[in-house]
Amino acid sequence: MAPSNGPPTARSDALSEVLLMLKTIQDDNAHLTESVDALRDRVEVLGFHNDLNQQIPKQPAIVAASQAEPTSLLVTPTVASLSKDVADEATKSPTQDPQRKPSTTGTSRIILTTYPSQSGIDPITMNWGHSDPHQRGPVVVSRRQNTLRRRNAIGAHGGSYSIYHALAVASKDLDAEHRPDFTNTEPAAKIGPFPQWADKKKIVSMDPLGHLAPWLFEDLMQNEDIDIRPTIAITKAHMKLPELERSVQAGRLVPDGKICLNDEGELAVTKIAVEPVWYLPGVAERFGIDEGSLRRSLFENTGGSYPELITRGDIKLFLPPIGGLTVYCFGDPAKMSDPNVKLALRVHDECNGSDVFGSDICTCRPYLIFGVEEAVKEAQNGGSGVVIYFRKEGRALGEVTKYLVYNARKRGSDRASEYFKRTENIAGVKDMRFQALMPDILHWLGISKIDRMLSMSNMKHDAIVEQGIPIHERVPIPDELIPEDSRVEIDAKIHAGYFTTGKVPDMDDLSNVHGRAWDDVDLESRYTSILTVFKACSIVSMELDVEDDLGLMARFGKMETRQILAEFDYRKCMTLGS
């Protein structure tokens, strides 16, 4: 028997002591790692401010618009003032709350609008497109008490979420005078500056300085108590999608530890969120209309929500209450603007039903995943991969309209030949995404060419090319990724002009492409109903061409009659009716 090295208790105590020491070393290493990471982040922040100071020299304080060079005011439709009685009535509250905090305007009166020559109105200069940020000026839209008179933009921060901000203030969950603390919120990646930022014709729907605003104009915020907020934020993150794990398993994606991090297909990504800021003269020019017509339409078709669109022709900026966009950059962000490396790009418009919940009535999620995968591959090959996600649900018609169209399709024949007509019948228009504004984000990213465009859309292609950005290759979605029920959509779009490397279907081809019928229909009730009509029409032979029978068409409509004949088993009808 081997000799013992000591009493069991002593050995156990010694082992416990060793384990404790190891645990202490691990904890110390963890704390050291955290300290190094924190120090590195701080160095990055200091580097950001140093780069900012080097790129953009300090200039004298921004002067008021009233002291700047005079500009001709836009002649816009005028709105008559409210009568004194109506105005006075509007300022009365049926239930005065003594605990309620003052409004952002510092007065109990409701300020419906302002005017250029109104006493106290002194907007900060905005020279959109100026190369010097301090000569251009910040975007100021807040209605805080000390900022209201200095506003040079119409609308509110937050896009579509500005209404929730109003609810938070009304319910006293948010102090109307709250000032954000921007400590450690600096961009996590350096973007620009690029010459396109100073071209007022190339960027009209976002603020090129939106990610730098609180730091560029810090003196103005502190010295004059002006509320200036960012409209762009840049961060770093990881992305995990189940399809990407399968891509790794299939060998299409190869983990490299930098972009594709592991066998689960987890990706490292730089994300950029952008809220819309419209330069109204530029937006109007992009659509080929005059600024006055644009202002009037925006005012009237938002229920009169923004009267300053009419009364403040001197203010050229509008922050619309719509969704923005998110950029997903794979690889080094600096390579997006490098003309010497290849760029793979997908521009994707939101489709919540497919993108998030996997609906197979369209190709949105499959194409999105394909775009991400191809973007990652390009970045791994030394290039750059970018996916830009726009909030334009249902072709910017909205999800309610989209679902109404789905109902009309599935209760009818759901054929590719009628795809766009269904939408037009309900919405009055095929598409409201207006890709004319889409290329602005490409200019902001410094993109000067696209090597591989992961999109079939002719509208996106044309909008980008018209903005002077060439596209070298267009990549359609592979056929094996197209869900069966989405053939109606994709074939109709190819016929209408979408890019394809295959055959362009004609109307006869489209008539033979139909979607899946609803599977929750009470078939027995349906068959019985059909049989009743058959008997009423004296249809006794299964060989009879009932498509042209007036009684059947009167009951179900011509197109649905064709659907019935194509999909229903008449023998089952006869069995149910016997």
Distance of CA 224 to the CA centre of its chain: 34
One of 150, 295, 433, 474 is an active-site residue; which one?
A: 433
Please give the structure tokens belonging to residue 556.
């179900």
Residues forming a β-bridge with 387 = 328, 346
**Sequence-distant (≥ 6) Cβ neighbours of residue 89 within 8 angstroms:** none
Question: For this structure, is 433 an active site residue?
Answer: yes
Helices (H), 412-452: 419-427, 440-444
What are the start-end ranges of the H helices in 431-520?
A: 440-444, 458-466, 487-496, 507-511
What strands, in cross-sheet order, belong to the sheet with 153-155?
153-155, 317-319, 278-279
Query: CB neighbours of 293 closer than 8 A, spacing ≥ 6?
Result: 284
Q: Is 229:161 a contact under the CB 8 Å cutoff? A: no
Print the SS3 string covering 83-98: CHHHHHHHHCCCCCCC
In angstroms, the CA 166 to CA 321 distance is: 12
Tokens of 97: 């709350």
Tell me if 104 sits within 8 A of 145, measured CB to CB: yes
What whole-number distance in Å separates Cα of residue 348 and Cα of residue 334? 22
CA distances to 27, 40, 235, 237 from 33, in Å:
10, 10, 21, 19
Residue 319: which residues within 8 A CB-CB, separation 6 or more?
A: 139, 141, 153, 154, 155, 156, 157, 159, 162, 231, 275, 276, 277, 278
Q: How far is CA 548 from CA 385, 512, 559, 562, 570, in A?
A: 55, 19, 11, 10, 16
Spatial strand order in the sheet of 343-349:
232-239, 267-274, 325-330, 384-390, 343-349, 452-453
Q: Give the number of other CB atoms < 10 A from CB of residue 462.
A: 14
Would you state the structure tokens that stand for residue 578, as one six-digit string? Answer: 């016997």
Catalytic residue among 207, 349, 355, 431: 431
| 571 given a catalytic annotation | no
Max Cα separation, the chain? 109
Q: Which residues are catalytic?
A: 431, 433
